[in-house]
Structure 1
Amino acid sequence: MHLKAHRFFAMVAVTGSFSATARHFQVPASSVSRFIAALEREVGQQLLYRNTRAVKLTDAGERYYLQIREVLELLDAADEEVTGTGSAVRGLVRINAPVALGHLHIVKLLNGLYERYPQLTVELSVTDLYIDPVQEGMDIVFRVGHLGDSGLIGRKLCDQQFVVCASPAYLEKYGEPQTPEDLKDHCCLVYKGNIGAQRWYFRHPESHELQIIDVTGPLRSNNAQVLVEAALAGRGIVFFPTWLFSKDSFMEKKLVRLLTCWGGSVEEVPSQIHLISPENRLRSQKTRAVWEYFLEAIGSPPYWDDLEG
């Protein structure tokens, strides 16, 4: 039986989807179905239950998958060794990131990745939807927020550090808040997502007592970059993690940091940014190389925390 049929079957076993498997291998879904049907005829067993909602392994399919999985991983490792990927990382790596993080940072970091591994191809998808890396055939995902118990391999890049800031023109007109409570009397530019307008959380620099501030202002948006642009134009005060800001905005005094002694976030428990990957993908040398590159290039603490360097 053609090795391709085994690879298709193994991917369907992991993703539960013919379409996700087709996307991963960049072939028509009909080809995946045809190869797996031929494999089932060859082994004389039904390996998959198929219905309109999902694709699941039969008992025979589960046993067969466990037997061939390690064989396929050994073949992949052998292919990497023979093709010289120990010294020349090559092939396709699929990366997913939130829209703003992808636009502001990941695209720029890819320049250094291509310089290091010129034979590498990257497929970068950006979305603010919470995707399943296995279902979508992703090798590496940047996840902003709290990392649930997903069974994926995760590595924390950083804790998100939040910044309160406004333009000099705004501060000249309305004055500078001295405490989080003062923000209630200011024009605040508020992010409003699917769960409503964000609340701003601050911890007292000495007692660490949590203060929850319900802010209001002339503009709400579900796009953080829109609100940052409004702040640059003098419309009000914004509160976002450091990675959403351009370092030039602070070095050139287009924005001024406020309440610098206070720690803050938009959740009661501050969140992080993680790299996550399906365990089987991280066994690939090319995926590990890209993973390690991003850890090195972003640094710890991340380079974007240094806004006034």
Structure 2
Amino acid sequence: MHLKAHRYFAMVASTGSFSATARHFQVPASSVSRFIAALEVDVGQQLLYRNTRGVTLTDAGERYYLQIRTVLELLDAANEEIAGNAGSIRGVVRINAPAAFGRLHLGRLVIELQSAYPALTTELILDDRYIDPVMDGADIVLRIGQLEDSGLIGRQICEQRYVLCASPAYLQRHGEPDTPQALRGHGCLIHKGNGGAERWFFRHPAEGQVNAVDVTGTLRSNNSEVLLQAALAGKGIGFFPTWLLPAGSIGKGQLQLLLPAWQGAMNAAPSQMYLISPENRLRSHKVRAVWDFLLAGIGAPPYWDRLS
């Protein structure tokens, strides 16, 4: 079987397009179709569904793609090494991140990445699911939460910090809470995910004990950006990760920080932010270059904490 057929198939699998694959390899679309048809004959399986709306993988095609993708990446890394082209960053790198974080932060970094590495093709997929990078074909995943022992390479970026805040207009009407327990008498903006309404956890550095507070309010949502807009509009007290806040929103008086002496979180154990990647992906120079670029762009501590 021709290696070129595997490369064409892998690109069609990732883009869902014969024409995009043809443009990438600078060949006619008919050549891409002919090579993949020959590959299907060789393996004895239909790998792609073709219709007027596009191209999708069959079940056999999905399994085959996951297997050959790793082989092609190892081959590319070996070619880079033997040819001394480690500094030539080209090819496709796939990044996965939570939707809100990706919109607010990774979009800008990916645009800067394109300027730094113009020969690189970047796929940024924003998805709030906890995906399996190996099964979903992601090179780099930004994950917020607890990192399980999954055999992946992980790099902690930071601990996710939360701030309790409300608009000056809300506080003029309802007053300012002086303890976490006092929040029970306020209208709170509550994030409600698949596990139900989230509790708010607070710890005072002088005490060390974690206090869980079951807050109530007239607005609940599974979207933190909606809750932030409500806080800015004076509709209640919000509890947000610092990366969600608009730069300078607290310093400019749009929001006022509450209970600054207390450390807060949405879980009893603070959540972390990580970059994770399958070990074999980081052998690739292009993936390692993007990994390092993202870490440098976010910084330590992360730039959103410095701005806030």
TM-score (norm 1): 0.80
Alignment check: 8 A CA contact 1:5 1:39 kept: no
**2:236 match: secondary structure:** coil
Equivalent residue for 1:43? none
Alignment check: 8 A CA contact 1:251 1:307 kept: no
Q: 1:56 to 1:92 in 2, by over 3 A?
A: closer
**2:125 match: secondary structure:** strand
One-letter code aligned to 1:299: G
1:219 aligns with 2:190: no
Equivalent residue for 1:266? 266
Alignment check: 8 A CA contact 2:142 2:275 kept: yes
| Structure 1 range deviating more: 84-93 or 282-291 | 84-93
**2:269 match: secondary structure:** coil
CA deviation after TM superposition for structure 1 residue 91, in Å: 1.7
1:135 aligns with 2:139: no
- Provide the rounded CA distance (Å) in 2 between the counterparts of 1:244 and 1:219: 18
CA deviation after TM superposition for structure 1 residue 75, in Å: 3.4
- Provide the rounded CA distance (Å) in 1 between the counterparts of 2:266 and 2:85: 43
Q: 39, 42, 45: which is aligned to 1:35?
A: 39
CA deviation after TM superposition for structure 1 residue 8, in Å: 9.8
The C-alpha deviation readout for 1:111-168, integer Å capped at 9, x for no partner, is: 3212221222211111111211111111111111111111111111111011000001
Equivalent residue for 2:160? 160
TM-score (norm 2): 0.80
CA deviation after TM superposition for structure 1 residue 169, in Å: 0.6
Q: 1:204 to 1:87 in 2, by over 3 A?
A: same
Equivalent residue for 2:94? 94
**1:306 match: secondary structure:** helix
CA deviation after TM superposition for structure 1 residue 238, in Å: 0.6
Equivalent residue for 2:125? 125
Equivalent residue for 2:112? 112
Equivalent residue for 1:16? none
Alignment check: 8 A CA contact 2:74 2:284 kept: no
Alignment check: 8 A CA contact 1:242 1:307 kept: no
**2:249 match: secondary structure:** helix
CA deviation after TM superposition for structure 1 residue 265, in Å: 0.4
Equivalent residue for 1:17? none
Where do 1:259-298 residues align within 5 Å?
A: 259-298=259-298
RMSD after superposition: 3.1
Equivalent residue for 2:47? none
**2:176 match: secondary structure:** coil
One-letter code aligned to 2:122: V
Alignment check: 8 A CA contact 1:246 1:307 kept: no
**Gap runs ≥5 in structure 1:** 12-20, 41-50, 58-64
Where do 1:10-29 residues align within 5 Å?
A: 23-24=13-14
1:169 aligns with 2:169: yes
**1:251 match: secondary structure:** coil
CA deviation after TM superposition for structure 1 residue 24, in Å: 3.7
Equivalent residue for 1:238? 238
CA deviation after TM superposition for structure 1 residue 26, in Å: 5.3
One-letter code aligned to 2:140: I
1:186 aligns with 2:192: no
Alignment check: 8 A CA contact 2:157 2:272 kept: yes
The C-alpha deviation readout for 1:173-204, integer Å capped at 9, x for no partner, is: 11111110111111100000000000000012
| Structure 1 range deviating more: 299-308 or 138-147 | 299-308
The C-alpha deviation readout for 1:217-264, integer Å capped at 9, x for no partner, is: 110000000000000000001111111111131231101111111111
- Provide the rounded CA distance (Å) in 1 between the counterparts of 2:131 and 2:143: 10
- Provide the rounded CA distance (Å) in 1 between the counterparts of 2:37 and 2:268: 47
- Provide the rounded CA distance (Å) in 1 between the counterparts of 2:189 and 2:208: 25
